[in-house]
A and B are shown apart, each in its own frame.
Chain A
């Protein structure tokens, strides 16, 4: 019954952070979006657009209990496809009636629908695998989170 829902090849170690401390949903979006900026996946305005999208369209990006997937339109500043996976030290409410509070934030930058589809399928598979999801939530360090996502824990080189 081993999990095959790893995200190797979809996320990289430099866009993964375990148990970061934030006090609001805005901070959660900005902190997780910043990883995409530093990884070169998007420009800073894209992160602002992700935040604005929640204000404009509501918190529907909280698509499962505790899981938010912030995103915006490609033209808001996507450079190349990218996904970050961030767990929160203390869950924060996004204002969602059924799925608050959020402790797993997965912002993504997509360039077009077709290229994006395979990635989404892998993410959905992870979110549907309760065992894998538990391991992701239980990870207390970046290394443990990498392992939980099926990545080789490795030294990261940002900037």
Chain B
């Protein structure tokens, strides 16, 4: 499974998000490729799941990827529950 975390520049927020998502998936024994990207690269990067700050909802919808929107980007519980819900639904 390919997961991208997105922010404006691919430097701050998306990296923090990627670190947390990797931690969550590792804890659950789920293997996935998690890459932080900026908004520009996101459009050219095929992914199964896109995880982004809620404020970027408009910019990340419209691709084939399932969208996960996070309010608090350092809240492990929020990231965990939302990510796992989406990842598990795709694993079906």
Which of A14-22, A59-67, A149-157 contacts the other chain?
A: A59-67
Instruction: List residues of chain A with CB within 8 A of the CB of B9.
Output: 53, 71-73
CB-based contact B15/A60 at 8 Å: no
Task: Name the residue of chain A whose CB is nearest to the CB of B56.
Answer: A60
- The tally of CB-CB contacts under 8 A between chains A and B is 72
Q: List 7 A-B contacts (CB under 8 A).
A: A60-B54, A64-B75, A98-B54, A99-B71, A99-B72, A120-B12, A124-B16
CB-based contact B72/A65 at 8 Å: yes
Given contacts A64-B72, A64-B75, A97-B55, contact A73 B11 (CB under 8 A): yes
CB-CB nearest 4 A-B residue pairs: A57-B8, A63-B73, A60-B53, A60-B55
Instruction: List residues of chain A with CB within 8 A of the CB of B53.
Output: 60, 63
Instruction: List residues of chain A with CB within 8 A of the CB of B39.
Output: 57
Q: Does B7 contact A (CB under 8 A)?
A: yes
Number of residues of chain A lying within 8 A (CB) of chain B? 32
Instruction: List residues of chain B with CB within 8 A of the CB of A71.
Output: 9, 11-12
CB-based contact A124/B19 at 8 Å: yes
Number of residues of chain B lying within 8 A (CB) of chain A? 22
Q: Does A3 contact B (CB under 8 A)?
A: no
Q: State the A residues within 8 Å of B (CB).
A: 53, 56-65, 67, 69, 71-74, 96-99, 108, 110, 113, 116-117, 120-121, 123-124, 127-128
- A-facing mask of B47-85, CB < 8 A → 1, else 0? 000000111100000000000000111111000000000
Instruction: List residues of chain A with CB within 8 A of the CB of B19.
Output: 117, 120-121, 124
Instruction: List residues of chain A with CB within 8 A of the CB of B5.
Output: none
CB-based contact A98/B13 at 8 Å: no
CB-based contact A117/B13 at 8 Å: no
Compute how far the CA of A53 lies from the CA of B20 in the bound complex, rounded to whole angstroms. 24
Compute how far the CA of A65 lies from the CA of B75 in the bound complex, rounded to whole angstroms. 10
Minimum distance in angstroms from A18 CB to a CB of chain B: 21
Most buried by B among A62, A63, A74, A110: A63
Compute how far the CA of A14 lies from the CA of B69 in the bound complex, rounded to whole angstroms. 36
Instruction: List residues of chain A with CB within 8 A of the CB of B7.
Output: 60
